Amino acid sequence: MSETHDITAMADMFDVICPMHLLVNADQTIAHVGPTLAKLSTGGPPKGRAFFDMFEITRPSRLKMSHAIFTETSTRVHLRLRHARDVKLQAIVAPAPMAGMHIVNLGFGISLRDAVRRFHLNSSDFAPTDLAVEMLYLVEAKSAAMEASRKLNRRLQAEKAVAETQAYTDTLTGLKNRRAVDHILQRFLAAGVGFALMQLDLDFFKTVNDTRGHAAGDYVLQQVARILREETRALDEVARIGGDEFVLLFQGNVDETLLTSIAERIISRVQEPIFFKGDTCTISASIGIAPVRAGTVLTAQQVFANADLALYASKENGRGRYTVFTRALRRKAQIKKAEDAQKDASDAA
C-alpha cells in the first residue's frame, strides 16, 4: 500500500514538472504516462501496455535490444512512435526510487513544431519551465513575419509592375506611349536588329474636335487604336505618341511589300466614316515608313527624322496615303532647307 502511494505521489509530481514522462515497471510494461504523452497514444490507455509496443528505438543502435535501454541509463535515446513513425522523440531513462522501475522522460526535439500541430498541443501541455513552446512561438512569429514580408514584397512588386505599365501606357487608348516607344527603339538599335517604324498622323482630326467636340475626338482616337491593333501582329508594337500621332514598330527585316500592304489596309479602314452619337466623323491617315536593316547604325532621332520626312511627303502629296523613306527624300529636304536659308538671307539683305 505504501509503495502504491509512493508511485502515485511521484506520478502526480512528474505530471506537473515532466508531463511527457512515463513510468516503466520491471517487466517493461507501462505503469503511468504523463498527460501530454497520453495525447500521443492510440489504441486505448497506455497503462499496462508493453513499452516496446508503443515505442521503437532508432538510435543508438547498441540500445535496440529491448532490455538495453533500461540497463544503460542517462544516455540520450532516439525513439519513434510505432503508430506514428514520423513522430520522432528523444528520451532519457533513469532508475525510479521503487525497485525495478524506471522513469523515461521524453521530448520532441526538432520535430516539436510538427508534433504541436499534429496532436493539437499548447503551452499547458509542457512543463512551466520548458522553453520549447516559447521558442516555438518565436519561430512561428518569425515565420508569420517572414510570410507577411513576402506578401508585402509580392504586393509591392505587383504595384510596381502596374505603375511601370501605366508609365508606358496611353490612358485614353490603352496603347503604348512615347516613353515606351523610345525604350523599345533604343533596345532595337542596341541589338542591331532589323525593324521598321511606321508613323501615322490623322488628317482632318482637328476639324472633328472643333465641330463635334473633344468627346467625339477621343472616340475617334479609340477607334483608330482598335484598327491599328487589329491590323498588326501580337509581336508588333503600337503606340500613341501624342495628339493624333501614332507609331507602329515592326521587329525583323520586314519586307517592304508587307509594310505597304499593312499601310494600305490601315488607310482604307481609317477613312471609313466613324459614327458618334448620331454624328459622322470623317478622317484619313497619312503614313511615313522608315525601314531599318539589321546592322544599320542609326540613332533614334535619325529613325524618327526619316519617318517624319516620309510622312511629310505623304501629306504634301495629298494626304490619305503612305510613303516609304528613301535617300532621295533626304536630299530633297536638304535642298529645300538650303533654298529656304538662301531666300531668308536674301530677304534679310
Q: Are 111 and 139 in contact (CB under 8 A)?
A: no
**DSSP assignment of 319-336:** SS-EEE--HHHHHHHHHH
Cell numbers 531599318 label which residue?
Answer: 292
Backbone angles phi, psi at 284, to 5 degrees: -145, 180
* Amino acid at site 299: T
Nine-digit cell at 300?
A: 533614334
Beta bridge partners of 105: 21, 92
Strands of the sheet with 195-203, listed across from one edge: 237-242, 245-251, 195-203, 284-292, 322-324
Q: Are 284 and 276 in contact (CB under 8 A)?
A: no
Beta bridge partners of 280: 275
Residue 53's closest CA among 74, 20, 22?
22
- Which is the catalytic residue, given 244, 308, 340, 347? 244
In this structure, the number of other CB atoms found within 10 A of the CB of residue 86 comes to: 10
Backbone angles phi, psi at 288, to 5 degrees: -120, 130
**Is residue 244 annotated as a catalytic residue, yes or no?**
yes
Active site residues: 244
